[in-house]
Amino acid sequence: MRAPDGVLLTPAEWLPATTVKAVEALADGLVTRDESEAIGYDELPVSGRESAPEMAVLAGREALERAGVAPASVRAVLHAWTYYQGHDFWSPAHYVADRTGATGSVPIGIQQMCNGGAAALETALTRLVAMPDHGPVLVTTGDQFCGPGFDRWRGDYGVWYGDGATAAVLERREGPAGAALVLDALVTEAAPDLEVVHRDVSRFQEAPLSAGPTVDVRRTKKAFLTGTGREPFVGRLRETTTRVVAAALAEAGLGPDGPAPRAVLLPRLGRATARDIYGPAVAAVTPAPVVDLGAGTGHLGAGDLFSNLAALAGDGPWGLRSGEHAVVLSAGAGFTWSGVVVHRP
């Protein structure tokens, strides 16, 4: 989808101040040296107090302040997550809307695993396209990967999970952009047949964690790869990523003969995944460098996309200059892939 002119995106993130170092996890036997080298991250933010929705509220307030948007003017709040939100039978999106002051909005929960941030962004964009006079939309994500139900270090192959929240305000507005980026395009592709990678094929359970005391992604992935083999699966991930990047650039009007984007920012899944999957997939389309900003965050569940966008909107080493474009990739179980193109006005 090519975004209409004048769609501004103001991102923000909120991360806990407390972190756990990878060297500490190695010393405590939580990870092996091979795993540490394959992922290559330094530390993970760990929330000991704030729940996932509470962190989302903090990120949402920050995004609204940066955008200069009054909470009362927000017409929709889209909250995305990957893991448990703190209550069993409840709508976290309504909590986020209430606590950010967006009490006149329509809250919507988005549960599309780690591509949830992109799914929420696409939903927000379609609202703005369908209703040109629609007011601002607030998108938030929040995840807390804590025990006893989740082992952030050993619950999955090749992924370390950090706690945190992200947000973005999406609006149609003319004039000074402030801390905003211009949204150029968003492309999504899905492969529903790959849902089995994260499903226990033996049976459907009656309640959460009925199959065991913790979420065990390794078990379902191992069962899937035993049947299909790793290389065909990895090849499919590369091919789909290549198509998504190519389609996103084309939708944004960035042809192969034009200047390359400043960078392609990756989901925060570690050094080996960047090397084996994303690097070759992106190189088939553009010479732009691939960048993994997960060294200090790990994988933020549904929040990688907006955390990367916050880096592009900031003053750090990957902050975009006026006129520069960048691509941000997102992916999640299911499987679903999204490519987002933005530029600095």
SS3 258: coil
In tens, the pLDDT along 116-138 reads: 999 999 999 999 999 888 889 99
* Domain boundary residue, one of 128, 156, 180: 180
Residue 52 is assigned to a structural domain of this protein = yes
Residues 43 and 31 in one domain: yes
Torsion of CA 155, 156, 159, 165, to 10 degrees: -50
**Residue 227, Cβ neighbours under 10 Å: how many?**
9
| Bridge partners, 2 (sequence order) | 185
* Domain boundary residue, one of 180, 212, 231: 180
Residue 1 is assigned to a structural domain of this protein = no
Residues 186 and 248 in one domain: yes
Instruction: Give the closest residue to 334 by CA, choosing from 139, 7, 115.
Output: 115
Using the predicted structure, report yes or no on whether residue 260 has a pLDDT greater than 90. Answer: no
**What's the pLDDT score for residue 47?**
97
Residues 116 and 254 in one domain: no
**In CATH, what number is assigned to the domain containing residue 157?**
3.40.47.10
What is the C-alpha to C-alpha distance for residues 141 and 114, in angstroms, rounded to an integer?
10
What is the C-alpha to C-alpha distance for residues 316 and 306, in angstroms, rounded to an integer?
15
Residues 325 and 220 in one domain: yes
Q: How many domains does the chain have?
A: 2
Domain range for 248 is 182-343
Residue 51 is assigned to a structural domain of this protein = yes
Strand order across the beta sheet in which 76-80 lies: 106-110, 76-80, 137-143, 164-172, 7-14, 181-190, 336-343, 325-332, 264-265, 290-291
Residue 316 is assigned to a structural domain of this protein = yes
Residue 119 is assigned to a structural domain of this protein = yes
What is the C-alpha to C-alpha distance for residues 237 and 278, in angstroms, rounded to an integer?
9
| Bridge partners, 291 (sequence order) | 265
Residues 246 and 286 in one domain: yes
Residues 22 and 163 in one domain: yes
Average pLDDT for the chain: 94
Residues 97 and 85 in one domain: yes
Residue 196 is assigned to a structural domain of this protein = yes
What is the C-alpha to C-alpha distance for residues 125 and 341, in angstroms, rounded to an integer?
13
Residue 176 is assigned to a structural domain of this protein = yes
SS3 96: helix
Residues 74 and 172 in one domain: yes
* Domain boundary residue, one of 149, 180, 211: 180
Q: How confident is the model at residue 11 (pLDDT cuts 50, 70, 90)?
A: very high
Whether pTM exceeds 0.85: yes
Residues 256 and 323 in one domain: yes
Residues 40 and 134 in one domain: yes
Residue 2 is assigned to a structural domain of this protein = no
Residues 205 and 255 in one domain: yes
**What's the pLDDT score for residue 176?**
61
Mean pLDDT value of segment 46-68: 96
In tens, the pLDDT along 218-253 reads: 999 999 999 888 899 999 999 999 999 999 999 999
SS3 336: strand
Residues 39 and 175 in one domain: yes
Exposed/middle/buried for residue 148 (C-beta within 10 Å: 0-12, 13-18, 19+): exposed
